[in-house]
Structure 1
């Protein structure tokens, strides 16, 4: 792409918006170098980068990118033996710290989301280099000063400096307190001149005070004199300062050498951080324009859904839909001036450039962009007074260059094609240019005023008409792009709207040729059909939304009914459990009584006693409405029962064994010590279903499946934390969890200690331990159950 095309389509302005989102000069440099790519593989990789950045922003909202600086020059100087300044070393330490934060941030996300391979690879390439970072931070403070602890020699020298300075001040303060000297002093203060401690002495006492003069005031009334009593101590200080400077240089040279030893991984770190900053700058920009990742192809197909120009206000811009390159090679856009034709043209070109640069585009999901080998544009009035070119000549010169350099995989955007000359000749030339471009296989979008091009697009299979909508009622454009409908001239409608005499308008219409009138009638018909279709579409959309609202309401009601049903079932289960318990107790009493009767009488139980006990047992059982399927089940199996088979007597809820068949409907069944006649329909094979108690436990477990495998108690007191943990461990055991994590944070360690003392005594806890790397470290306790 030529710089001229990038400028015309305002790609540089988009880059400036992206540049604002970068946090470092390195990231900004990469944005400055951003250009559209013509390889679909490179474009797909760039789009994947931006998509990964968008995923991170959606999950986290922000990225810890602070502290990234350009340390490449400092690294290069260290490689050739140069001594780095304290600030340069601090910058290197800051980059190492920033790299560690970014690496940890991305790797943690990559463990949770496998769709971040590019960011994960960049994070993996960052070397922590903790020893180098620690050595720098332990030697240089935040203000860029080499600290005493940088070396033992430096600490010793600075201790001597402080002691000597203390001696100098002590002697000078003694002079200040001496009455004979006080009248000679301009002020009773100690100051420094030329790195030596001095006193301000009045000019007239120059010969009486004694010592070395180092400076005087602007007026000459004050002399700054070093008394003889401190000359030797000041000399000692100068020597110590020189030794200090040499020792500081030794420290800086040592640290610079360490940087040189790690130059290669440092360069990799810088490049990786720059790339990460660049990726998130693209992602932040995509978020700011509500961008989406377009589908990509190499077939010259463009499909834009609700596309918006990214440099126009989202509140005022009118989205457009565009399709090109599938059924149509060319699009001819007509419509009034200031109606939005040029904006539509620029939107198509700019969004294509953005997509080919790895940026997201402001359009709906599912939009598609082709990767073109070239994009050419002739947009706007580029008349050059210096070259004595007319508007027509300027446009034609650009079009000639475009035709000479284009190929079959080019996208060509032409604004006001053929304008600036005789209308009939301009229209003929425009048609010829479009035909030539189409024959070469390139994709073209052209705007024009010529009505001849409307008929041209209508009669060519590879060309489609489009127009920008104009509201005759308000005499203003709507800026909507209507694909498939040519634009009307609207001159007569506007004239009539403004109040021009009807007779004049009718006379003007007679001046138009029959062909022009036919074209205008065709356009009117198409526009009426379009408006009818639009109304129908809006009506259908309204019905769709109404149905959607009804569906949502029904779904809401269904959910409410489901909740009510679950509540009723829960209550029914409780009542049933109570009824079963009561029935079981009654049944046990009845059976015990029957056994006692049998033992007392030493014979078979009398029939009337059996009937009485049976009625009592039946009265004790809870009554539930039986489903028809249960009755059918008994009917189906009754003819298959044989003596010796184990059966369940439904009415007694007891197991028994068939002794003999009495009749076609009755059998004799042994139940414990009791023998009784029962109807065949009242018995069935022994069920192999699980006991109700187990089903109830499964229900309880099912209701607790939402228990999370971790509990966060950071900020709680020990008492509150233990209360929360006690309930949580019970829920976790019932839910079948084997292991859980308790997040208590690091802090002072008091909360962790209190929790672990409690866990030692908990009956369900098998063992516990602190978290390892990746589990939260000492800020997490991992608990396993028995």
Structure 2
């Protein structure tokens, strides 16, 4: 990948942010080597690993990794058969312990059935060495200090050292706290030449005997090892020598323990560093609210609400950027400070991030290409040392790009053709864009030249674009408008800043009419697009709310259906339980009757009557397996309609023939010489009347109350009027054959409710009545059931 482009796009700043999330030296090394790739297979593997890391971070806050040092120099010394020191061994021990910990972590994830794309296969490369790890962890502390448990001999030696030091201090305390303390410069015990001594005034040096090890700068104090503790110090010194020899032996033993596993340990360290790097990518994606990009084999880039990753995410303006499908060249025009340069950098840097296996700061389902190279010409290329002007610097860069670019290259150019005569600059910019088109490269270029606005309309696979500018505030919004060229706002801005009107008028007079018409057209297009975008946002919001409501209602309906089926099943089970209890009781009674008949020698109740009674009782058993219910199957069969079937039209009591299905709820039925549209719920399959011995007998009920509502609403009626209405309504409901009706009387003062209740108590055709369910009106309505 072009290194100059990486520098211009500040790619290293992205890597610097990632560096802050790493905890291992191997991970740091992998980050240092990170470069965008043009190999689609490698890139997909990188993205799969980042996706796994993001999923693990979301569920487990990342892969558990401690700080790991660089152990490659230690393994190099091990390969040279050198003995490792305690710190080196401890750092290797930490790598081995982390290897076992990470392997167990991924095993636990597998048990929880977390689906990973790739990392589970990567972790299989880790080699755990439990015996070696246990020996190192037992023998060494984190800072490399050898523990007492490293060997029994070392533990015993250290016990002797502790005991000897205690004996020396006890004897020394007699000098510092007893009658001899007055001969000391200070009442302390110190160490000189690894031996315990006391500070004695020079004039009393003969008082304690022993050995003088040191004296103060003034010569007034001598550090003397009293004769009484010389033997103890000798013993301590020997124990310390024994300790050092034992420690060296242990270190040599631990080093020899690692020698057969050098390759495995190095591979473990590299894999842990790689997992650390994946962790860092996942943490960065979370911080940036980045998403996984999809890869396009034919380089159709579609960034949805892309954001520049190095700008404060609370301030950056997101833009949709697409190139490669309908057009391969975008010409961005418009005034300065509108955001053109940042938009170009956003496209290039987001593409570089994606081709590095990083998630990108854009909305989900964004698509990136896999370019062989990305070129950029952005910024001031002038150089005093090389005697290059701004124009010369840009041209030198463009020449280099044209030599290297091909059909799998992405080029971003800021202020194409700037720095020279406007007419020549515009002509040169058009020629350069034509050459890029000949090469087949993808290009996004910004320019001030109005000539390139026409270029965007006339050239194939090329489109104009601009940065939105608020005409009222005369401030940029930093939104990219694809398909609309930029307009010049110089005169409007000058007028807003207080430029005299006569100057503005004169300037407009010097501007040709075509330019003014073009600016007016662009302004109108911009306003139309703003309105369309606003309407689109409103519709998207409404669609989102409607979808959420539909999903909520569907969930509630499904829950209702499950509850209804469960309640029906529970009710049938309760009924079966009651039938079982009744059957047992009836069987007992029948058995007692038989015994009594046999005892009396006569038959009061015939045997066939007893069997019939028992069969009738068994028939009360409810079938809880609805799928095997014969009645249900028979009813379903009646509704299984096909063209040509004979059906009974229940509302007319006539048999007809099905001609064709009009929709899910209606059929066309031939009734004699008439063809009628009949609802499905008004049809019932029947046999051919010509083949049946008995014609189906029509049973049609007609009454003046046909079509009446099963609900009577008395709210707003006076008491006497309401009671008369109730009387008429109950008569009509009985004639219509309704099994039950609902009377809505409201709550209010309770007068209507009391009147309705008293009337229903007196009516002999009423079986029972009661208030509605709480969710259906409660005591504001009464449900009436008839006999």
CA offset at residue 211 of structure 1? 3.0
Aligned counterparts of 1:177 and 1:92: Cα–Cα separation in 2: 49
Preserved contact between residue 472 and residue 494 of structure 1 (Cα < 8 Å): no
* Residue 131 (structure 1) aligns with: 131
Residue 539 of structure 2 is matched in structure 1 by 540
Output one character per residue of 1:690-739: Cα deviation in whole Å (capped at 9) or x when no partner.
xxxxxxxxxxxxxxxxxxxxxxxxxxxxxxxxxxxxxxxxxxxxxxxxxx
Q: Hey, what does 1:371 align to over in structure 2?
A: 370
- How far is the alpha carbon of 1:346 from its aligned partner? 0.6
Q: State the distance in 1 between where 2:145 and 2:633 align.
A: 90
CA distance in 2, matches of 1:271, 1:377: 34
The residue aligned with 2:299 is 300
Equivalent position SS for 1:327: coil
Greater CA drift, 561-570 or 218-227: 561-570
SS of structure 2 residue aligned to 1:223? strand
Q: Is the 8 A contact 1:598 1:605 kept in 2?
A: no
Deviations 1:148-174 (A, max 9, x none): 443344345444444544554455455
C-alpha displacement of 1:525? 4.2
Query: Which residues of 2 match residues 44-123 of structure 1 at below 5 A?
Result: 44-113=44-113, 115-116=115-116, 118-123=118-123
- Please state whether the residue corresponding to 2:368 is helix, strand or coil: strand
Alpha-carbon deviations, 1:564-587, whole Å to 9, x = none?
635753664366336645775797
* Structure 1 residue 381, shift from structure 2 partner: 2.2
Q: Indicate conservation of the 8 Å contact 1:582/1:620, yes or no.
A: no
Provide the rounded CA distance (Å) in 1 between the counterparts of 2:216 and 2:385: 65
Q: Give, in whole Å, the separation in 2 of the partners of 1:524 and 1:140.
A: 75
Q: CA deviation at 1:145?
A: 2.7
- 349-358 vs 309-318, which moves further: 309-318
**Per-residue deviation at 1:462?**
1.3
Of stretches 559-568 and 590-599 in structure 1, the one that deviates more from structure 2 is 590-599
Within 2, Cα distance between the matches of 1:228 and 1:576?
105
* Distance (whole Å) between structure 1 residues aligned to residue 59 and residue 284 of structure 2: 16
Structure 2 SS opposite 1:224: strand
Q: Contact 1:329/1:442 (CA < 8 Å) preserved in 2?
A: yes
Q: Is contact 1:455–1:519 with CA below 8 Å preserved after alignment?
A: no
Distance 1:290 1:425 in 2: 45
Give secondary structure in 2 for the equivalent of 1:44: helix
**Residue pairs, 1:598-613, within 5 angstroms:** none
8 Å CA contact 1:202, 1:221 repeated in 2 = yes
Q: Distance in 2 between matches of 1:515 and 1:337?
A: 22
Query: For the residues of structure 2 that align with 1:568 and 1:615, how far apart are their CA atoms?
Result: 28
The CA deviation at 1:451 is: 1.2
Quote the offset at 1:633 in angstroms. 8.6
TM-score, length of structure 1 as denominator length: 0.72
Tell me by how many angstroms 1:504 deviates. 5.2
User: Could you give the per-residue CA deviations for residues 78-125 of structure 1, whole angstroms, max 9, x where no partner exists?
Assistant: 221222221221111111111111111113323544743532233222
> Aligned residue for 2:784?
none
Aligned to 2:4: 4
Q: Are 1:457 and 1:465, in contact at CA under 8 Å, matched by a contact in 2? A: yes
Alignment of 1:254-403 (within 5 A): 254-403=253-402
Aligned with 2:118: secondary structure? helix
- Structure 2 counterpart SS, 1:477: strand
Indicate the residue corresponding to 2:434 in structure 1.
435
- Cα deviation, residue 373, structure 1: 1.1
Does structure 1 conserve the Cα–Cα contact (< 8 Å) formed by 2:579 and 2:617? no
Q: Distance in 2 between matches of 1:114 and 1:95?
A: 26
Aligned to 2:30: 30
Which digits, 9 at most, give the CA deviation of each residue in 1:186-213, with x for residues without a partner?
Answer: 3444322111122221122235543322
Match of 1:684 in 2: none
Change (3 A) 1:201 1:483: same
Between 106-115 and 497-506, the greater mean CA deviation after superposition: 497-506
Distance 2:410 2:106 in 1: 39
Distance in structure 1 (CA, Å) of the matches to 2:104 and 2:79: 29
Greater mean deviation of Cα atoms: 378-387 or 106-115: 106-115
Q: Which moved more, 1:391-400 or 1:412-421?
A: 391-400
Distance 2:279 2:581 in 1: 68
Q: Distance in 2 between matches of 1:627 and 1:117?
A: 52
Q: 1:587 to 1:460 in 2, by over 3 A?
A: farther
Cα separation, 1, equivalents of 2:133 and 2:636: 82
- Structure 1 residues 541, 430: CA separation in 2 closer, same or farther (over 3 Å shift)? same
User: Paired residues, what number?
Assistant: 632
Instruction: After superposing the two structures, state which structure 1 stretch, 591-600 or 128-137, moved more.
Output: 591-600
Deviation for aligned residue 1:275: 1.0
Distance 1:578 1:260, change over 3 A: closer
Residue of structure 2 in register with 1:573 after alignment: 572
Deviation (angstroms), 1:67: 4.4
Question: Which secondary structure does the structure 1 equivalent of 2:362 belong to?
Answer: coil
Structure 1 position 21 matched with structure 2 position 21: yes
Structure 1 pair 588–490 and aligned structure 2 pair: CA distance change class (3 A): farther
Q: Which moved more, 1:293-302 or 1:418-427?
A: 293-302
**Per-residue displacement from partner, 1:205-228 (whole Å, max 9, x unpaired)?**
235543322112344322111223
- Structure 1 residues 471 and 81, CA gap change in structure 2 (3 angstroms): same
CA distance in 2, matches of 1:596, 1:152: 91
Matches within 5 A, 1:356-755: 356-497=355-496, 505=504, 507-552=506-551, 554-555=553-554, 558-559=557-558, 561-562=560-561, 565-566=564-565, 569=568, 572-573=571-572, 576-577=575-576, 580-581=579-580, 584=583
What's the C-alpha RMSD, in Å, of the aligned pairs? 3.7
Cα 1:222/1:332, change in 2 over 3 Å: same
| Contact 1:67/1:95, CA 8 A, preserved across alignment | no
What secondary structure does 2:237 align onto?
A: helix
Shift of 1:176: 5.6
Structure 1 distance, partners of 2:226, 2:156, is 28
Tell me, in whole angstroms, the C-alpha distance in 2 between the residues paired with 1:392 and 1:241.
77
Secondary structure of residue in 2 paired with 1:262: helix
When residues 546 and 291 of structure 1 are mapped into structure 2, their CA distance, relative to the original with a 3 A threshold, is closer
Change (3 A) 1:622 1:156: closer
Contact 2:300–2:323 (CA<8 Å) still a contact in 1? yes
Per mean C-alpha deviation after superposition, the further-off stretch among 409-418 and 136-145 is 136-145
Deviation at 1:249, TM superposition (A): 1.3
For the 8 Å contact 1:212–1:228, the answer to whether it is kept is yes
| Segment drifting more, 574-583 vs 596-605 | 596-605
Relative to structure 1, is the Cα distance of residues 598 and 629 closer, same or farther in structure 2, using a 3 angstrom cutoff? farther
Whole-Å Cα distance in 1 between the matches of residues 149 and 551 of structure 2? 70
Q: CA deviation at 1:506?
A: 5.0
**For residues 615 and 275 of structure 2, what CA distance do their matches in structure 1 show?**
81
**Cα separation, 2, equivalents of 1:497 and 1:553:** 52
Alpha-carbon distance in structure 2 between the residues aligned to 1:110 and 1:54: 16
Q: Summarize the Cα distance change of 1:195–1:549 in structure 2 as closer, same or farther, 3 Å threshold.
A: closer
- The separation in 2 between residues aligned to 1:205 and 1:633, in whole angstroms, is 124
Deviation readout 1:402-456 (Å, 9 max, x if unpaired):
1122222111110111112222111111111111111111111001111111110
Structure 2 vs 1, CA of residues 538 and 455 (structure 1 numbering), >3 Å: closer, same or farther?
same
Q: Distance in 2 between matches of 1:236 and 1:560?
A: 85
1:772 aligns with none
Shift of 1:13: 0.9
Q: Distance in 2 between matches of 1:540 and 1:124?
A: 50
Range with bigger deviation, 496-505 or 204-213 = 496-505
> Is residue 201 from structure 1 mapped to residue 200 from structure 2 by the alignment?
yes
Deviation at residue 65 of structure 1 after TM alignment: 0.6
| TM-score, reference length from structure 2 | 0.72
Preserved contact between residue 300 and residue 370 of structure 1 (Cα < 8 Å) = yes
SS in 2 for 1:247: helix
Distance change >3 Å, CA 135–CA 404, structure 1 → 2: same
- Bigger shift: residues 418-427 or 181-190: 181-190
The 8 Å contact of residues 586 and 617 in structure 1, kept in 2 or not, is answered as no
1:234-273 maps to which residues of 2 (within 5 A)? 234-273=233-272
Unaligned runs of 5+ in 1: 635-663, 666-786
Alignment correspondent of 1:739: none
1:42 aligned partner: 42
